[in-house]
Amino acid sequence: MTRFRVGSATDTGRIRSNNQDSKLVSDNLFAVADGMGGHQGGEVASALAVSELRAAVHESSQQALTEGFRLANEAIYRKASDDPELRGMGTTLAAMTLIENELGQEELAWANVGDSRIYRFRDGELLQLSRDHSLVEDLRRDGQLTEEEAAVHPQRNILTRALGIDADVEIDSETVAPFVGDRYLLCSDGLFNEVELDRISATLRRLADPDEAAAELVRQSNEHGGRDNTTCVIIDVIDDDDRAGVASAALAGDESGLDSPTRQVDMTDHEAPVPPSPGRFGDDSSRDSDLPFGQAKGQGQEYDHLDRSTTRHITWRVILFLLALLVVGGVAFGAVTWYANGSYYVAFTEQDEVAIFQGQPEGVLWIEPEIDETFPDLRRDDLTGVQQERVQRERTYTSRDDAVRAVETLEFEVTEAERQAETPTTTAPTTTAPAGPADPTTTTTP
Q: Please report, as ranges, the residues that interact with Ca ion according to CB under 5 A.
A: 34, 188-190, 228
Q: CA 376, CA 355: separation in Å to the nearest integer?
A: 8
Q: CA 80, CA 389: separation in Å to the nearest integer?
A: 44
> What single-letter DSSP state applies at residue 163?
B
Angle between helical axes of 385-392 and 400-426 (0-180°, round to 10): 170
90/440 with CB nearer Ca ion: 90
68/90 with CB nearer Ca ion: 90
CB of 230 to Ca ion, least distance (A): 8
CB of 170 to Ca ion, least distance (A): 21
Q: Which residue type sits at 48?
A: L
Q: CA 435, CA 142: separation in Å to the nearest integer?
A: 76
CB of 188 to Ca ion, least distance (A): 5
122/131 with CB nearer Ca ion: 131
15/252 with CB nearer Ca ion: 15
Contacts 24+ apart (CB under 8 A), 216-224: 217/9, 217/187, 217/191, 218/9, 218/10, 218/11, 218/191, 220/194, 220/195, 221/11, 221/13, 221/190, 221/191, 221/194, 221/195, 222/11, 222/13, 222/14, 222/194, 224/194, 224/195
CA 263-252-266 angle, 5° bins: 15
CB of 328 to Ca ion, least distance (A): 22
Q: CA 137, CA 148: separation in Å to the nearest integer?
A: 11
177/187 with CB nearer Ca ion: 187
72/410 with CB nearer Ca ion: 72
Q: CA 145, CA 150: separation in Å to the nearest integer?
A: 6
189/302 with CB nearer Ca ion: 189
CA 16-21-22 angle, 5° bins: 150
Residue in 31, 33, 13 with CA at minimum distance from that of residue 21:
33
Cα-Cα-Cα-Cα dihedral sign, residues 240, 246, 249, 255: negative
CB of 191 to Ca ion, least distance (A): 9
Please list, in sequence order, all residues whose beta carbon lies within 8 angstroms of the beta carbon of residue 380, skipping any fewer than 6 positions away.
348, 352, 353, 354, 388
CB of 47 to Ca ion, least distance (A): 15
CB of 115 to Ca ion, least distance (A): 8
188/387 with CB nearer Ca ion: 188
CB of 305 to Ca ion, least distance (A): 38
